[in-house]
């Protein structure tokens, strides 16, 4: 009897995992015609679109020729050289042929590749100092074909950084018109340790010294906000911020697109502050939780307490354009395969009860369920 008491739970786990594995393996392939643009690929980890491709493969989505999405080759942008530190082996621009052959165009990142990134020798981190651009920025012709695709009925997904530096004014205005938001010229990011020289870029410290005429002496967690003319604000937790303060929530009433997405999620990475045009739907928002001192700092810069995180614009030709005001597809998760049905649901639940901010919580509880809904109408 003692042996049976331990045998049944083990057998139950074997049956559960076996059933989950079998359901996943038997899941039929579905075709998705999507092209991804990622110009920020200094190294082979392809961090700006890696988690997106993990999701596509977990959902058994394939390209029009029946092959799986390969994060290493199936995108447009920069392709790393053969050894770390080499400049891109080649670059590929988004073309009209790409947009005509696909139903979904995803601008994951257009920031680019910079000299110091290649010389840093660290594949998971960009350099902490500004340096000359080797390649990057949305090109004028690329912005035009994205706009044409939207007007012809295609679905456009664009996220930070698609319109900020180094994209020029002309392409930026075209993209802003296409997705229906205006960039305020402000970007920001949460840092768990403002004193860390391994996390906070040197150019932020220099900008602060130049504007405020004092040394960077911040400690602990906080947010850094930067305008494209190098103006800078620092909001520290405990003084200007009450907690990890930028929270992402669904707008009321909840759109069906975000039915399974979470609310009040701490967003802990790069974001940009945008304003929507008239008629553009705001599906999710960021909201600051600050002290009065923190709100006074925002007001002095003309920055809002609440601003869009996810927007949607519907075009007269049946097209849909989404803008994600954050580095949504950049997630440092492993791209190891997990061949289990129900895995996405389990991860969404386990991450929702985790304490403290993490990119994993945002990815599993918000990004994944949102992307499942966005892509569903395009599957064949």
**123 assigned to some structural domain:** yes
In this predicted model, what pLDDT tens digit does every residue of 35-70 receive, in sequence order? Answer: 999 999 988 889 899 999 999 998 999 999 999 999
Domain of 130: which CATH number? 3.40.50.880
Residue 311 has pLDDT above 90, yes or no: yes
**25 assigned to some structural domain:** no
What is the span of the domain harbouring residue 237? 33-378
**20 assigned to some structural domain:** no
Domain count, the chain: 1
**Alpha carbon distance 234, 250 (integer Å):** 26
The residues pairing with 151 across neighbouring beta strands, listed in sequence order, are none
In this predicted model, what pLDDT tens digit does every residue of 146-157 receive, in sequence order? Answer: 999 999 999 999
Of the candidates 226, 124, 241, 232, the one whose C-alpha atom is nearest the C-alpha of residue 192 is: 241
Confidence of residue 29 (pLDDT cuts 50, 70, 90): confident
Residue 346 has pLDDT above 90, yes or no: no
User: What pLDDT was estimated at residue 132?
Assistant: 86
Please, what's the largest Cα pairwise distance for the chain? 76
Kindly state the percentage of the chain with pLDDT values over 90: 70
**82 assigned to some structural domain:** yes
Confidence of residue 125 (pLDDT cuts 50, 70, 90): low
Q: For residue 9, how many other CB atoms are within 10 A of its CB?
A: 9
pTM over 0.95: no
Residue 357 has pLDDT above 80, yes or no: no
**Cα separations in angstroms, 91 against 94, 106, 304, 349, 371:** 10, 17, 38, 40, 27
Residue 33 has pLDDT above 80, yes or no: yes
User: What pLDDT was estimated at residue 183?
Assistant: 97
Confidence of residue 21 (pLDDT cuts 50, 70, 90): very low
User: What pLDDT was estimated at residue 169?
Assistant: 95
**Average model confidence (pLDDT) across the chain:** 88
**18 assigned to some structural domain:** no
Of the candidates 136, 52, 125, the one whose C-alpha atom is nearest the C-alpha of residue 91 is: 136
Higher pLDDT, 55 or 18: 55
**229 assigned to some structural domain:** yes
User: What pLDDT was estimated at residue 338?
Assistant: 57
In this predicted model, what pLDDT tens digit does every residue of 157-177 receive, in sequence order? Answer: 999 999 998 999 999 999 999
Confidence of residue 306 (pLDDT cuts 50, 70, 90): very high
The dihedral region occupied by 190, where left means phi > 0, alpha psi between -120 and 50, and beta the remainder, is beta
Residue 34 has pLDDT above 60, yes or no: yes
User: What pLDDT was estimated at residue 17?
Assistant: 47
| pLDDT (mean) for 336-360 | 66
**19 assigned to some structural domain:** no
Residue 98 has pLDDT above 50, yes or no: yes
Confidence of residue 26 (pLDDT cuts 50, 70, 90): low
Cite the DSSP H helix spans in the chain: 2-25, 50-58, 96-101, 115-120, 140-151, 169-179, 202-212, 292-301, 343-352, 359-362, 368-375
Check if the beta carbon of residue 111 is closer than 8 Å to that of residue 39. Answer: yes
User: What pLDDT was estimated at residue 356?
Assistant: 58
Confidence of residue 242 (pLDDT cuts 50, 70, 90): confident
**Cα separations in angstroms, 15 against 5, 10, 35, 164, 341:** 16, 9, 39, 51, 13
**3 assigned to some structural domain:** no
Residue 188 has pLDDT above 80, yes or no: yes
Which of 191-200, 211-220, 358-367 is predicted least confidently?
358-367
Residue 301 has pLDDT above 70, yes or no: yes
């Amino acid at each position: 009897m003692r042996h049976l008491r331990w045998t049944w739970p083990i057998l139950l786990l074997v049956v559960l995992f076996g059933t989950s594995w079998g359901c996943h393996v038997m899941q039929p392939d579905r075709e998705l015609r999507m092209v991804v643009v990622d110009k920020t690929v200094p190294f082979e980890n392809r961090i700006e679109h890696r988690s997106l491709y993990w999701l596509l493969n977990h959902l058994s989505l394939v390209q029009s020729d029946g092959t799986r999405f390969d994060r290493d080759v199936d995108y447009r942008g920069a392709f790393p050289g053969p050894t770390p530190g080499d400049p891109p082996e080649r670059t590929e621009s988004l073309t009209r042929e790409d947009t005509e052959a696909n139903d979904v165009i995803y601008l994951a990142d257009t920031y680019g590749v910079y000299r110091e990134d290649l010389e840093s020798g660290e594949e998971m981190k960009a350099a902490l100092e500004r340096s000359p651009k080797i390649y990057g920025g949305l090109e004028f012709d690329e912005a035009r074909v994205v706009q044409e695709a939207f007007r012809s009925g295609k679905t456009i997904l664009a996220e930070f950084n698609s319109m900020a530096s180094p994209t020029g004014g002309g392409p930026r205005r075209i993209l802003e018109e296409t997705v229906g938001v205006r960039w305020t010229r402000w970007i920001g990011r949460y840092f768990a340790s403002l004193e860390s020289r391994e996390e906070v870029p040197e150019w932020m410290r220099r900008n602060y010294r130049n504007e405020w005429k004092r040394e960077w002496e911040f400690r602990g967690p906080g947010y850094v906000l930067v305008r494209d003319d190098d103006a800078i604000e620092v909001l520290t937790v405990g003084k200007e911020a009450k907690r990890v303060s930028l929270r992402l929530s669904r707008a009321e009433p909840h759109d069906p697109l975000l039915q399974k997405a979470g609310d009040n999620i701490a967003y802990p990475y790069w974001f940009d502050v945008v304003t929507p045009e008239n008629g553009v739907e705001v599906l999710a928002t960021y909201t600051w939780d600050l002290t009065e001192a923190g709100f006074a700092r925002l007001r002095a810069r003309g920055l809002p307490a609440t601003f869009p995180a996810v927007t949607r614009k519907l075009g007269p030709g049946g097209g849909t354009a989404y803008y994600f005001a954050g580095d949504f597809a950049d997630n440092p998760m492993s791209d190891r395969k997990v061949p289990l049905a129900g895995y996405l649901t389990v991860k969404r639940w386990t991450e929702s009860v985790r304490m403290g901010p993490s990119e994993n919580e945002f990815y599993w509880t918000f990004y994944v369920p949102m992307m499942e809904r966005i892509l569903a109408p395009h599957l064949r």
